[in-house]
Structure 1
Amino acid sequence: MSSPMSAKPFTFICGDDDYLVSEKGKAWFAEQTKGLMDDLSKEVVDGRAGNIAEVEDALNRFTSAVQTLSLFGERKVVWLKDVNFLADSVTGRAQGTLDLVENLKSVLEELDPEAVGVCITAQPIDKRRSFYKWCQKTADFTLLAGDKNAAATCAKLIEEECAEAGVSMTRDAVQLLIGKVNGNTRLIVEETRKLCTFAVGSDEAVNEQLVNALVPNFGDADFFEAADAFFSLKLDWTLEALRRHFFTNSESRPLLGSLQSRNRLLIQLRVLLDAGAIRLGGRGISKSDLEAAAKVYGHHFGENPEKSNLNVFTQNPWYLGRLAESASRLSLKKLVDFQLAFADAFEAIIERPNEQEEVCRELAVKCLS
């Protein structure tokens, strides 16, 4: 964090995660405006723009803000937040935008940091552009790069929120929560606060059961409790989770789809483990192991970079490490038998659409007895 009298003319914060970038900018703004009495000495300019006209409007408002001094002689602080026109997008590549950004340089170069403090937060950003490279040299520059271990970033956010609320959370609950929100940092914070609100005053740590009860699955997350229970190989838990699932859901297809999707990945992981291409350590699967395996076997999966359970190399290493714990306990034959059993269950619910819970319970007993 720069000091109020930074030698650099302005602060520039960018990165891959909009929440982390925004929070860093918010912290900067709070620090810089501490003690300022006049609200007119503090200005926040929205930098979001969908076309060249909106880019021009945002930059005109920003320029006006930094050039209009405080009425009472205080140092002024201006935050240009949520800038999205520095990205590799149609608007970002437009010549009109490039010209406007070039003009922005002259405004920023002339800033007197003793008279006005300026912060720009941008996400996403095209690192190939000259403006990005210029900011690296000219500004008090911060790049919040995507963490090589995204789960570690999420776990740290959970730890910070729990510590602030005076609540603890078990390691398994932390992992489950990260999976349920697909590693989305903004949702991680909001759902952790919800869990803490529920648990505050209790001596018990937030556990997996509470996370399953209070946190829905977001996006394409497949963290059904019943799927977790099934691949733990615990029949009693699986049957109880199925009971809870069908208490609020009448449809089994999403759950069966989740089981199949996860099992596809487990089959791929089992093959890679058997081949010695990856190793399962105390912290799961290392990213370097996964990248090395991708170089050897990746061509078998085609060139589509989209996330898919048909391609193990498109998955998050943390998630794969979590699944690999199950894969290490199951033989390849057992996993193939599971996949065939899931297909049979799909056929059974077509034949018995009013008995879907019974079909799933029969599946669990067949596979886990």
Structure 2
Amino acid sequence: MSAKSKSANCFLICGEDDFQVALEAEELINRLVPEENRMFGLEIIDGRVDTIDACLTCLAKCQEALMMDGLFASDKFVWLREPAFIANDRLSRSKSIKAPLATLTNTIKAGLPEGRYLMLTTPRIHRASALFKAFNAAGEVRDFGNNLKDWECKNRAKEFLDRWLPVVELTMDGPIREQFLARVGYDSRRIASELEKLRCYRGGAGKVTKEDIEVIVSGGGVNEIWNFIDAFGKRDLPELLRQLRMLLAQSEHPIRLSNSLEARVNELLAIREILSRKWATPDSYNGLRWNPVPPEVDAWLSARDQDFRKMHSFRLKNLVAQAVKWTLRDLRMARHLLLEMREKLVSSSLPQEWLLEVCLIEALGGTRSANKQTKGA
């Protein structure tokens, strides 16, 4: 714990990850408020209100609680819980709120009296606001983020997994951690729940294996469907069917799977066309190295929902690596089969699982020849 963490008496815990926000709040209370002092030394002000008058009341209560001595307790810990005047734009813009909110901000900047503590928890707060800056300068901010990018979510999930494994007395090797997160996703509450399931399944502490995860851990991570789509793009039929059966067992809707595959085929078709016409060549660093293109091609690329020339290099490299495994003819046939299958999914009496499997096997027909073509390239 840093020196600032030890001396701070104002704490802002914010972010969309409600599980970690709640966990941090609980740990902070456990550290700073002894059990025997909580009846009189802990004051919780519920800010989850929906009117300006109620917001003003919350602010007044908070300010009063910070200035008054605790009854029968030398220290006073005030928890302002999810105040609506911070998370709700309509309420935060109210002129009536600005003056009392500025008073609270100035109180934080000036520093609380000895033995007083303020903790504010909220799912949303403007990082450029005076209140956020006051907490950051005079107190401590524990920020679990909003609108995080995928790689940021993954890093947060890895950090939480490292933190929670000792709690449930389990260990995982690096590849097993990756497998676990790929299956579970990046939500900390779900990670904690699945780790508890693993511990119960194993009958106690120990080292988690690949087989443990495959048997007991429920899928549902946001990237589960991406594993399925990538297996299609890579023309990896065994992995594709394995992912399909896992998703169907989790009640994933066949129409959604079909739509996702169509979107991937359309992306691969465009990249395959670009490569075939020599408008660009594969590049190991950027994904594609672009050549000068005619004005009409420039207009076509710019009109796409996502211009390949502006796409993140990691994603573009992944798509290019998949596109080179296909010919234009194979991709057009795959698109035709997927469109045909979607019609059957809503009109045929045949089992949807069977329709999906047959379509995917047909769409990936010629996998061997495609692989030979890739090796020869």
> How far, CA to CA, are the matches of 2:113 and 2:6 in structure 1?
7
**Which of 341, 348, 367 matches 2:337?**
341
- Equivalent-residue separation in structure 2 for 1:144 and 1:251 (angstroms): 31
Q: Is the 8 A contact 2:49 2:84 kept in 1?
A: yes
C-alpha deviation, 1:32, in angstroms: 1.3
Q: Is 2:76 the partner of 1:81?
A: no
How far apart, in 2, do the equivalents of 1:160 and 1:253 lie? 38
Q: Look up the match of 1:58.
A: 58
Give the aligned partner of residue 155 of structure 1.
158
Instruction: Say whether the 8 Å CA contact 1:170–1:207 is kept in structure 2.
Output: no
How big is each residue's C-alpha offset from its partner over 1:313-337, in whole Å with a ceiling of 9 and x where there is no partner? 999998x499659737734635554
Whole-Å separation in 1 of the counterparts to 2:53 and 2:274: 52
Moved more, 192-201 or 50-59: 192-201
Query: Do the aligned partners of residues 9 and 51 (structure 1) sit closer, same or farther apart at CA in structure 2, a change above 3 Å counting?
Result: same
Query: Which position in structure 2 is the counterpart of 1:327?
Result: 322
Inter-CA distance 127–225: structure 2 relative to 1 (3 Å threshold)? closer
Task: State the AA in 1 paired with 2:29.
Answer: F
Kept after mapping to 1: 8 A contact 2:41/2:76: yes
- Write the distance in 2 (CA, Å) between the matches of 1:3 and 1:312: 47
SS at match of 1:58: helix
Alpha-carbon displacement from aligned partner over 1:80-125 (angstroms, at most 9, x marks no partner): 2333422471112221222231232355466644221222233311
Aligned partner of 2:225 in structure 1 is 223
**3-state SS of the aligned residue for 1:163?**
coil
Check conservation: 2:45, 2:78, Cα contact below 8 A. Answer: yes
The answer for the alignment partner of 1:10 in structure 2 is: 10
- Tell me if 1:30 matches 2:30: yes
Distance of aligned partners of 1:51 and 1:193 in 2 relative to their CA distance in 1, 3 Å threshold = farther
Q: Deviation of residue 346 (structure 1)?
A: 1.5
CA displacement 1:278-311 (0-9 Å, x = unmatched): 7489xxxxxxxxxxxxxxx995445xxxxxxx78
Question: Unpaired runs of 5+ in structure 1?
Answer: 282-296, 303-309
Summarize deviations over 1:217-250 as a string: whole Å, max 9, x none.
36x7662886576456443454456566667869
Q: Partners of 1:275 and 1:78 in 2: how far apart?
A: 61
Residue of structure 2 in register with 1:44 after alignment: 44
Residues 204 and 367 of structure 1: CA distance in aligned 2, closer, same or farther (over 3 Å): farther
Aligned residues: 346
Shift of the 38–313 alpha-carbon distance from structure 1 to 2, 3 Å rule, reads: farther
Partner residue of 1:94?
94
Q: TM-score, normalised by structure 2?
A: 0.69
1:330 aligned partner, one-letter code: K
Q: Which amino acid aligns with 2:200?
A: T
Q: Distance in 1 between matches of 2:87 and 2:183?
A: 29
The residue aligned with 2:124 is 124
Residue 168 of structure 2, aligned match among 165, 180, 201:
165
**How has the CA–CA distance of structure 1 residues 251 and 155 changed in structure 2, closer, same or farther, with 3 Å as cutoff?**
closer
Structure 2 contact 55–84 (Cα < 8 Å) conserved: no
Rounded to whole Å, the distance in 1 between the matches of 2:246 and 2:185 is 22
Change (3 A) 1:195 1:9: closer
Tell me, in whole angstroms, the C-alpha distance in 1 between the residues paired with 2:350 and 2:111: 71
Residue 197 of structure 1 aligns with an amino acid whose one-letter code is C
Instruction: Supply the distance in 2 between the matched residues of 1:247 and 1:363 (Cα, whole angstroms).
Output: 18
Match of 1:305 in 2: none
Structure 1 pair 210/115, CA: closer, same or farther in 2 (3 Å)? closer
For 1:256-295, what per-residue CA distance to the aligned partner results, in whole angstroms no more than 9, with x for missing partners? Answer: 23333454566678789965577489xxxxxxxxxxxxxx
Moved more, 156-165 or 269-278: 269-278
RMSD: 4.6
Equivalent residue number for residue 253 of structure 1: 255
Given that residues 10 and 119 in structure 1 are in contact (C-alpha distance below 8 angstroms), is that contact kept between their aligned partners in structure 2? yes
Q: Larger helix proportion, structure 1 or 2? A: 2
In structure 2, runs of 5+ residues without a counterpart are: 288-299, 366-377
Separation of aligned partners in 2, 1:104 and 1:249 = 49
CA contact (8 A) 1:40 1:70 kept: yes
Contact 1:10–1:140, Cα closer than 8 Å, also in 2:
yes
Cα deviation digits, residues 182-203 of structure 1 (max 9, x gap)? 6333333333433443345486
The CA distance in 1 between the partners of 2:50 and 2:362, in whole Å, is 55
1:198 corresponds to which residue?
201
Aligned to 1:290: none
Q: How far did 1:151 drift?
A: 0.8
Contact kept? 1:87, 1:125, Cα under 8 Å: yes
3-state SS of 2:155 partner? helix
